[in-house]
Structure 1
Amino acid sequence: MVREKIDALLDRVQKPARYTGGEMNCIVKPWESVDIHYLFAFPDVYEVGMSHLGSKILYDVINRREDALCERVYSPWVDMADLMRQTGVPLFSLETRTPARRFDMLGVTLQYEMSYTNILELLDLAGIPLRSAGRTWEDPIVLAGGPCAFNPEPLHAFIDAFVIGDGEESTGQTIDVVRECKRSGVSRQECLRRLAAIPGVYVPSLYEASYHADGTLASFAPIDAAAPAVVRKCLVQNLDAAAYPEDVIVPYTEIVHDRIMLEVLRGCTRGCRFCQAGMLYRPVRERSVETLLRLAQRQFEATGYENISLSSLSTGDYSCLPRLAHELMQRFEERRVSISLPSLRLDSEVKETLKETQRVKKTSLTFAPEAGTQRLRDVINKGITEEDLISSVHDAFEGGWSSVKLYFMMGLPTETEDDLSGIADLAQKVVQQYFQIPRGVRARGLRVTCSAACFVPKAFTPFQWDAQDTLERLEEKQRFLREKMRIKGVEFNWHEPHVSFMEACFARGDRRLADVLEAAWRRGCRFDGWSDQFKYDEWIAAFGDCGLDPHFYACRERSRDELLPWAFIDAGVTQRYLWRERERALQGVTTPDCRQDCQGCGMQRMAESCKKHMGEAGAR
């Protein structure tokens, strides 16, 4: 009956392929053949979620098990969600159109704070009580992981258990526990207690927080002996030994990243002080060339994709990049399969590699100077110079490229008007480099795209203690930049500051924001990361409903001795190291890449690749 109802909705919505399932390489197992039924949920639309590599990895990890199956669900767009409510269609999986509430486990990935209302929307559409306290064994165990799980507190009331860190191994451990609990007939609460015993798993209902009169966190501690005082992140030590999908799903509709994605390495040790991912995913772990070639061949045979993306936080730092790119080109050039190198750093030694990989197809080059002056780049430890950028851009234009993207941030700590002017100055110099190339050499159609995002302080970064600029200040800076960026050949894009303001609230929020989140969702907030859906006034009203001030979370500087809501999580990097980096930032002192010179960030306590530096780090 549900199937017929779903079919009746498909010709009434945008992009019905979002909901049909049945794609090439999707995995459908008989429901009765397994003990555990796992539904993986991505809290955004199909095109975004299908492009997420972590989702593909966990889908593969779970479906490799004989005792479990994994199916998928993505946030229904507004039109579909409204129709589902009107017609009584519950949230359903793509593979078998099974109602979400029938699954034993529901796993949600947390990639972006502004997708949090979509999690409540998914739960409500599924008929699952929003809050963990209201669930029974008739409901799935709701888990969440991903980078935003490193500050899980704003979602504490809605998630049964968080998996902190790499999920390849810990996901299987959670399945083992839930399977045994269901077999033995223990209570749901006892199951949560057993989940809390898994390294890297945080069960928020087993902890309690209290607050000072000024609103800051006074205490945070476990209230159950099963809960550890410190939750240490999960870490995959060897990527070659880790599971990785071979038969990836090929969608029927265009998605954001429609290509083979090879994760060449995980982690980054450059130490950019604004970058949360660079801190959370330490240490650097690389896949071997042999493993990557095997995966590329297998995925090409399984999908027929014509582009291979070498994915990581800093692909140019992959130690075997020239060899890998050369061997991929030898294998795939005749088949007209292109190789793309995202996430390039300006100082990466990739010029010859770029020339080789672009023989099949020239794509736009992306660089991220982040700041307009050397002073501010030193503050954020970007480790590149204007000369690096100009040299790289000159070589690119000389090599036949005409399209370049430049990424900057505004609102960074210590930023001045001169730093903002420097963004426009850099853009102008990039344009000048193009016209310095002779007409017969340079490609036609110059296009320089400059984007300026609003800085958002994040947990586990040296700037986690810093205030975000006020909305008024961010809007003033945007007006200033828009005037400065009236440059021929340059397209200027900027991020909505109201969204960044709200993102900053939840990035460093505490448990009290769970009430704000629910209030905002009940006021109609969903898809808050989409500019045409974001309802700023409703968010402000939701804060008012709960008696909380968003400026307390976004625009307030924290002291060193303030207890931070995420302090109970051990992400590898220590708070001592982060504070030291903040002090160096304010002094304009840079810190070298720790692969050349260990900085004693704390990762040597848990990472095999860092332990050889323990003596040096301990001496600092």
Structure 2
Amino acid sequence: MDRTMEMILSRVQKPARYTGGEYNAVVKDRKQVDIRVALCFPDTYEIGMSNLGIRILYGLMNELEGVWCERVFAPWGDMEDEMRREGLPLYGLESGDPIADFDVIGFSLGYEMAYTNVLNMLDLAGLPLRSEDRDEDMPLIIAGGTCAYNPEPLAPFVDIFSLGEGEDVTVELIALSRRARREGWQRCELLAAAARIPGLYVPSLYRVTYREDGVVSSVTPLEGAPELVTKRIVQDLNQSYFPVKTIVPSTEIVHDRVMLEVFRGCIRGCRFCQAGYAYRPVRSKDPALLVEQGIAACKDSGYQEMTLSSLSTSDYRPLERLCDGLLEWCEPNLVSMSLPSLRADNFSMGLMERLQHVRKSGLTFAPEAGTQRLRDAINKNVTEADLIKSCRTAFSGGWNSVKLYFMLGLPTETDEDVLGIAELAKKVLQLWRETAPDKRRGCRITVSTACFVPKPHTAFQWEPQVTREEYLRRVKLLRDNMRDKSIVYHWHDPDTSFLEAVFSRGDRRLADALEAAWRDGAKFDSWSEYFSLDRWMCAFEACGLDPAFYANRAREKDEVLPWSRVSTGVRPEFLWKEREAAYQAVITPDCRRQCTGCGANLLLEKGRVCDA
């Protein structure tokens, strides 16, 4: 470490964020490497290192001969100030080399509120923000993750978007980049070739036009670009890469544990949930393999906690067999196990007993809505009886706290639905009073509400978000009707939800506002220490854009949506049909009971079937 870095680190919070050198970090001989990749996560080290996708891609790329992938995280404000003051460019954690000298810079996009950090990291690297301003010798800028399903707000800044799961397509893109370098291609040749790889969307190869009222008129592919870019999926999770030897952070992170991904996709069809649609079809991993990998990862890392990861862990068919296999090793080695993403309709006593073998973890359920009518409208497929049964099981087994998550502002929601949340919380509290064997510690029911954000590629992608004022009115209505001291109420900030809705369904014109806000100081917008809605409103006004046009406006059925050239594999016709079912409060069976014909199964290779 040079003296400049030593001086800087002595003046910032949590210097371990910026030093690298962790156990299992990969350092390669530069002379043996012909492709260098900067894997960027546009948030803090603690959050980025908790992301399983980052760990998978890092390990996968570093197993390729001649490829060196390094991690890069967004520096906190104090570190950024020091870097700019000392003229230190953004660097890879493993080598300390400036990422502007790398061949590829890839961003993981999991949240729209991180967009300004993407721009800030490009600027800290000393690179022009816009693709058109970068020359032939500069790195290729790619981006993937859930937010890539609407690539348009970031389109002017990113060369290539990777749609879907990155394990296979990343290897193909690296191979293409190697060939381009070997044969001396121009950047335009590389982009044209990349557009021919399934799952890669090259925004510069699409021309967008608008109607007089501001609605998108057309998104036209230029010569050589496909009409539709469909996401990539991993066909067989048993054969997919899993980072058994994973980096052990030198400082505490958000999820500091071994993460085992039990399956991808979701059998449910919650109409608001982008992940539920985007990760289809369901593909499961063999429990014996999971046991082997989980034990090996714990042994290598020394972690004392393991979590099973998926969109709905309790929907994994051999879950109890998997838990038994893991606990046989975990219990004598004092390794605890947690199961997030449990559903109220399949929480069992057997599962509960397994949960508390080593350490009793918290219980969280997400009814999402306060009445059965609204739960049916959003296709949650959970009843009040399911929740009561699960809470009775938990309370009688010794739990004395439950967290309940809901959304406010869902399509068709009324005040009766809002008050239904309060009634449900009171019923859960009364249930504890009736069933808990030990009441000395008291009970804590935590109710949390978030503001509904309409997402692309969901049944509610055409729906408006309620205004900030209306959301806060519903918050007050709920708060005023939930006064028991054993019920704690938290609600999400509506300002960040509003901005999330703007960029969630935005078009390319938002890039100007994004850049204007960043130049005015916007960064870390998911952090209250930095977020300023006033700053953003000034940026929108300066660019002649109305954010309510994107967040609070309903779309017509035949409207050209900005993301219309990318596909999750789920047909738009199916999504519209689901939207209509919502207004009739008609449920659609889950994929395990009946195939809904959404189209995602067509992504599977011929002869394979969905694991639902």
Q: What TM-score results when the alignment is normalised by the length of structure 1?
A: 0.97
Specify the alignment match of 1:74 in structure 2: 73
SS of the counterpart of 1:390? helix
Q: Supply the distance in 2 between the matched residues of 1:207 and 1:371 (Cα, whole angstroms).
A: 40
1:206 CA displacement? 1.1
SS of the counterpart of 1:325? helix
Specify the alignment match of 1:616 in structure 2: none
Q: Supply the distance in 2 between the matched residues of 1:179 and 1:134 (Cα, whole angstroms).
A: 23
Q: Supply the distance in 1 between the matched residues of 2:593 and 2:439 (Cα, whole angstroms).
A: 37
The correspondence of residues 117-196 of structure 1 with structure 2, limited to 5 A, is 117-196=116-195
Change (3 A) 1:321 1:608: farther
1:124 CA displacement? 0.3
Which of 510, 513, 521 aligns to 1:513? It is 510
Moved more, 178-187 or 164-173: 178-187
1:443 CA displacement? 7.0
- Residue type of the partner of 2:520? R
Specify the alignment match of 2:542 in structure 1: 545
The correspondence of residues 116-515 of structure 1 with structure 2, limited to 5 A, is 116-225=115-224, 227-438=225-436, 440-441=437-438, 444-515=441-512
SS of the counterpart of 2:270? coil
Specify the alignment match of 1:22 in structure 2: 21
Specify the alignment match of 1:618 in structure 2: none
- 1:533-564 CA-to-partner distances (Å, cap 9, x unmatched) read 11100100110111010000000000000000
Q: Supply the distance in 2 between the matched residues of 1:411 and 1:399 (Cα, whole angstroms).
A: 35
Give RMSD over aligned pairs.
1.3
Moved more, 397-406 or 574-583: 397-406
- Residue type of the partner of 1:289? P
1:297 CA displacement? 1.5
SS of the counterpart of 1:334? coil
- Residue type of the partner of 2:344? L
1:609 CA displacement? 8.9
1:269 CA displacement? 2.0
Change (3 A) 1:508 1:443: farther
Structure 2 unaligned runs (5+)? Answer: none
Q: Supply the distance in 1 between the matched residues of 2:203 and 2:257 (Cα, whole angstroms).
A: 37
Q: Is contact 1:379–1:585 with CA below 8 Å preserved after alignment? A: yes
Change (3 A) 1:425 1:590: same
Q: Is contact 1:45–1:77 with CA below 8 Å preserved after alignment? A: yes
1:224 CA displacement? 2.7
Specify the alignment match of 2:30 in structure 1: 31
Q: Supply the distance in 1 between the matched residues of 2:12 and 2:426 (Cα, whole angstroms).
A: 44
Change (3 A) 1:312 1:612: closer
- 1:395-448 CA-to-partner distances (Å, cap 9, x unmatched) read 10111111211100000001111111111111111111111125x445724222
1:252 CA displacement? 1.3
Q: Supply the distance in 2 between the matched residues of 1:253 and 1:373 (Cα, whole angstroms).
A: 43
Structure 1 unaligned runs (5+)? Answer: 614-620
Specify the alignment match of 2:44 in structure 1: 45
User: Does residue 590 of structure 1 match 2:587?
Assistant: yes
Q: Supply the distance in 2 between the matched residues of 1:511 and 1:539 (Cα, whole angstroms).
A: 16
Moved more, 383-392 or 453-462: 383-392
Specify the alignment match of 2:56 in structure 1: 57
SS of the counterpart of 1:299? helix
- Residue type of the partner of 1:270? R
Q: Supply the distance in 1 between the matched residues of 2:2 and 2:298 (Cα, whole angstroms).
A: 33
- 1:462-488 CA-to-partner distances (Å, cap 9, x unmatched) read 000001001111121122222222222
Q: Supply the distance in 1 between the matched residues of 2:347 and 2:387 (Cα, whole angstroms).
A: 13
- Residue type of the partner of 1:571? T
Q: Supply the distance in 1 between the matched residues of 2:52 and 2:262 (Cα, whole angstroms).
A: 12
SS of the counterpart of 2:367? strand
Q: Supply the distance in 1 between the matched residues of 2:339 and 2:173 (Cα, whole angstroms).
A: 35
Q: Supply the distance in 1 between the matched residues of 2:356 and 2:28 (Cα, whole angstroms).
A: 41
SS of the counterpart of 2:166? coil
Q: Supply the distance in 1 between the matched residues of 2:470 and 2:609 (Cα, whole angstroms).
A: 46
- Residue type of the partner of 1:228? P
Identical residues among aligned pairs (%): 52
Q: Is contact 2:270–2:380 with CA below 8 Å preserved after alignment? A: yes
Change (3 A) 1:436 1:416: same
Specify the alignment match of 1:603 in structure 2: 600
1:190 CA displacement? 1.1
Change (3 A) 1:3 1:403: farther
Q: Supply the distance in 2 between the matched residues of 1:485 and 1:152 (Cα, whole angstroms).
A: 41
1:518 CA displacement? 0.4
Q: Is contact 2:208–2:218 with CA below 8 Å preserved after alignment? A: yes
Q: Supply the distance in 2 between the matched residues of 1:234 and 1:441 (Cα, whole angstroms).
A: 51
Change (3 A) 1:608 1:320: farther
SS of the counterpart of 1:169? helix
SS of the counterpart of 2:464? coil
SS of the counterpart of 2:71? strand
- Residue type of the partner of 2:565? F
- 1:338-391 CA-to-partner distances (Å, cap 9, x unmatched) read 111000011125430221231110010010000011110000000011111111
- Residue type of the partner of 1:28? V
- 1:97-147 CA-to-partner distances (Å, cap 9, x unmatched) read 111101100110000000000000000000011001111233210100001
Q: What TM-score results when the alignment is normalised by the length of structure 2?
A: 0.98
Q: Supply the distance in 2 between the matched residues of 1:487 and 1:14 (Cα, whole angstroms).
A: 39
SS of the counterpart of 1:479? helix
The number of aligned residues is: 610
Q: Is contact 1:369–1:382 with CA below 8 Å preserved after alignment? A: yes
Moved more, 377-386 or 184-193: 184-193
Q: Supply the distance in 1 between the matched residues of 2:306 and 2:409 (Cα, whole angstroms).
A: 35
Q: Supply the distance in 2 between the matched residues of 1:486 and 1:74 (Cα, whole angstroms).
A: 42
Q: Is contact 1:322–1:350 with CA below 8 Å preserved after alignment? A: no
